[in-house]
Structure 1
Amino acid sequence: MTPLALEPPVEEPVSLDEARSFLRLDQADEYDLLAMLLTAARLMVEAACGRCLVDQHWRIVVDRWPQEGEIRLPLSPVSAILAARVYDQAGLAQPIDPAALSLESLSDPPLIRIAGGVPTPGRDHGAIEIDVVAGFGPAATDVPAPLRQAVLRLAARWFEERGDVASRDARALPVPIAALLAPYRRARL
């Protein structure tokens, strides 16, 4: 199973104005840097806790339908299935009836259950594509406050301590930021 990012979120979980206020930053010449750090911090927080923050579109690619009839998604939370298709032997995408798949968004990990007849894939690899919306909601305010605070504090840390701090944080997040993420980490087996 391969998750592919199709569209990033339309906004970051922390706005540039919120970060500027937090840092007490008035110089406009640093705004682009701060915006880039906010995006990088969101990506780091998403990777560390295994959750998408603000709604974004992803494509899940699988080779074949699972025998047990359910696909455990590598993304969380997932709120909707946008589209699904199966590639036939000629390499043409055949749409899947939306009623054939059901999303169990409250399970962790989220599950897609095969609820009806689905076409048989016509190729061995990358035969099934399912497009989903992953995230806590479309707005920054939908993201839990501790996760927003982690993004803000991580971006502020990188802004204030420029240099190698980001590469150190990639190996192990600072304890106060890791503590904010702890309740939201996806269990990995």
Structure 2
Amino acid sequence: MILVEETTLADAALPVAELRAHLRLGSGFDLAESSDEDRALAGFLRAAMATIEGRTGKVLLSRQYRMVLDDWRDSAAQALPMAPVSEVQGIEISVADGISRAIASQHWYLVADITRPFIRPRGAALPSVPEGANVVIRFTAGFADNWAGVPPDLAQAVLMLAARYYEDRSDDSARRALPMGVSALIERWRAVRVLAGRRAR
């Protein structure tokens, strides 16, 4: 499986002001506001979000993804690796010479489960994939388009972890383990990320 994030969050979408306030409350002093400082804070936020999303399999702010498979993992239900999924833009079969064939939406539907979303067939099985071809699935995943829509415990976990990265920025070993408070906040969101069904390829 290949998973590609096709959209990149702009710095303006990140909770830089919230992180600045969090750091001020934790340290007792104001950070100098500057474009360089904002870019640095955005970088710590991106790192914290990537860690939280990697540990939970949940996408915080909506982005578009492309997943490529050499075949369905299970022709009765194809799991998607990230959640929550709000939309599947399309599914196609791509062959070696670059020709693609779209699979019409009347042949499949999205089960938008917050833990483990699936694509299921509107029949006995998903369409067969020829030898040497790939399945390409494009979908949108994420809790919200803006930070206000992110679940509060996950949002707080990101701020706490980004603050930790900021405070320990000269110590690379600080990124190897999650602080206990962050682990506690994300625990209920963690799930076994199952991509396969009966046939793992």
TM class by shorter chain equals 0.7 to 0.9
TM-score normalised to structure 1 length:
0.86
In structure 2, distance between residues paired with 1:181 and 1:20: 22
| 4+ runs deviating over 2 angstroms | 8-14, 65-68, 88-91, 116-125, 166-170
**Residue deviations 1:97-129 (CA, integer Å, cap 9, x gap):** 12222110126311100225865434425x110
- Aligned AA (2:32): D
Consecutive unaligned residues of structure 1, counting only runs of 5 or more, are: none
Structure 2 residue runs of 5 or longer lacking an equivalent are 25-30, 195-201
Tell me the SS of whatever aligns to 1:121. Answer: coil
1:114 counterpart residue number: 121
Contact 2:165 2:175 in 1 (8 A): no
Residues 13 and 148 in structure 1, CA contact (< 8 A), matched pair in contact too: no
Is 1:43 paired with 2:46? no
Looking at structure 2, the residues matched to 122 and 91 of structure 1 have their Cα atoms a distance apart, in angstroms, of 14
Letter in 1 for 2:16: L
For 1:31, the aligned partner's letter is D
Q: Which residue of 1 aligns with 2:198?
A: none
Structure 1 residues 73, 67: closer, same or farther in 2, change over 3 A? closer
How does the TM-score come out when normalised to structure 2? 0.81
Is 2:123 aligned against 1:135? no
Relative to 1, partners in 2 of residues 1:35 and 1:11: Cα closer, same or farther, differing over 3 Å? closer
Partner of 1:19: 19
Letter aligned with residue 61 of structure 2: V
**CA 1:14/1:146 → structure 2, altered by over 3 Å: closer, same or farther?**
farther
Aligned length: 186
CA distance in 2, matches of 1:62, 1:118: 13
User: AA paired with 1:23?
Assistant: L
Q: How does 1:140-159 map to 2 (within 5 A)?
A: 140-159=147-166
CA, structure 1 residues 115+36, in 2 after alignment: closer, same or farther (shift >3 Å)?
Answer: same
Q: Tell whether the 8 Å contact from 2:95 to 2:132 is kept in structure 1 after alignment.
A: no
Query: In structure 2, what residue type is equivalent to 1:146?
Result: D
The match for 2:185 is 180
Quick check: 1:168 aligned with 2:174? Answer: yes
Distance across 2 between alignment mates of 1:14 and 1:180: 20
In structure 1, the residue corresponding to 2:6 is in which secondary structure?
A: strand
1:82 aligns with 2:89: yes
Match of 1:124 among 124, 132, 137: 132
